[in-house]
Amino acid sequence: TNAGGAFLVSELQRATAKQAEACGDARLADSDAIDAGIVESFISEWQATGREGRPGRLAILDQDASEQYLYPDMLLAKDLLARNGIETLILNPEALTYENGVVAHGGRAIDMVYNRLTDFDLSEPGHAQLRAALLDEAVVISPAPRHHALYANKRNLIWLSDPDWLKSFGADDADRQVLAAIPDTRHVTEDVADELWAARRGYFFKPAAGFGSRAAYRGDKLTKRVWSAILEGDYIAQALVPPTVRAVTVDQEPVALKYDVRLYTYAGKTLLLAARVYQGQTTNFRTSGGGFAPVYQF
């Protein structure tokens, strides 16, 4: 779904390319190739709907876009797409109109929307026009609600981490071996509430349609109040996997920071990799010395 940070990471890797050359066998992905792959993904999304060529005008859409933490990422996206022949605007949803089968801004048609909204199914009243345009096939939206339902809703992890379910649906041995790396995941319901509460220290609890580590909790940090809120919401419980730790220097002092590795992919191909370095219960961009980091491959 929305690859937030991809454009920043590409520039980060471009800025650190010289350091990679000094690391012997270490390899850093080429930023020009990354950028080309990202642009091609937009064109592929456009053409997948039966349209030809590339979109003439694209809107990067987010709520209060200029106030978003990753607004610089949107600016880089706008610049990259413009350099590749796609006129690009950064807009709030209310800046769009939908009349007579045309999505427009300021009287000019918008062909495609790069959707960075966190209303993943476009169900909020303020996004009704956008949803109608999507259903009418009047505009190409990527990622769209279908993309989120297929690839990002965490409820899917319940089945993908269940070897018996996978086998019953025809997954072969090779696929099941790869998927075995997914931590065991369960749906939090009243039926299993007592069991999950008793075993909570071995789980991480996440909203099924959540994003950005918001309202996600380690089981050993749960209070009864938060647990009640979890039971009232739509949550999954995922077996806890301790994060990997990396020794780094911050302000000339050695510190140990956690990290995870994010893969940005499209159509089964990896576009780029990035690490997210942090300290705390969940990934965040508030840690001194943390944030996005390039990934060197050996």
Instruction: Average the pLDDT over 160-176 and give the result.
Output: 96
What are the residue ranges spanned by the domains of the chain? 6-151, 156-239, 244-293
In this predicted structure, what is the pLDDT of residue 219? 95
5 — pLDDT class (breaks 50, 70, 90) = very high
Q: Which two tokens stand for residue 203?
A: 């789980």
Q: Tell me the whole-structure pTM to 2 decimals.
A: 0.91
CATH architecture of the domain formed by 6-151:
3-Layer(aba) Sandwich (3.40)
Q: Which two tokens stand for residue 228?
A: 């009640």
Residue 20 has pLDDT above 80, yes or no: no
The answer for 107, left when phi > 0, alpha when psi is -120 to 50, beta otherwise, is: left
Residue of 229, 222, 235, 239 whose CA lies nearest to 188: 235
Q: Which two tokens stand for residue 173?
A: 């041995």
282 — pLDDT class (breaks 50, 70, 90) = confident
Q: How are the residues of the chain apportioned to helix, strand and coil, as percentages rounded to the nearest 5?
A: 35, 25, 35
In this predicted structure, what is the pLDDT of residue 7? 96
Residue of 30, 12, 118 whose CA lies nearest to 297: 30
The amino acid present at 274, given as its one-letter code, is A
**Residue pLDDT, tens place only, 222-266:** 999 999 999 999 999 999 999 999 998 999 999 999 999 999 999
- For the chain, the average pLDDT equals 93
Cα distance between residue 90 and residue 75, in whole Å: 8
Cα distance between residue 188 and residue 32, in whole Å: 44
Least confident of 15-29, 149-163, 173-187: 15-29
pLDDT > 70 fraction of the chain, expressed in percent and rounded: 98
CATH architecture of the domain formed by 156-239:
2-Layer Sandwich (3.30)
Can you list the positions of beta strands (E) in 127-184?
Answer: 140-142
Instruction: Average the pLDDT over 191-198 and give the result.
Output: 97
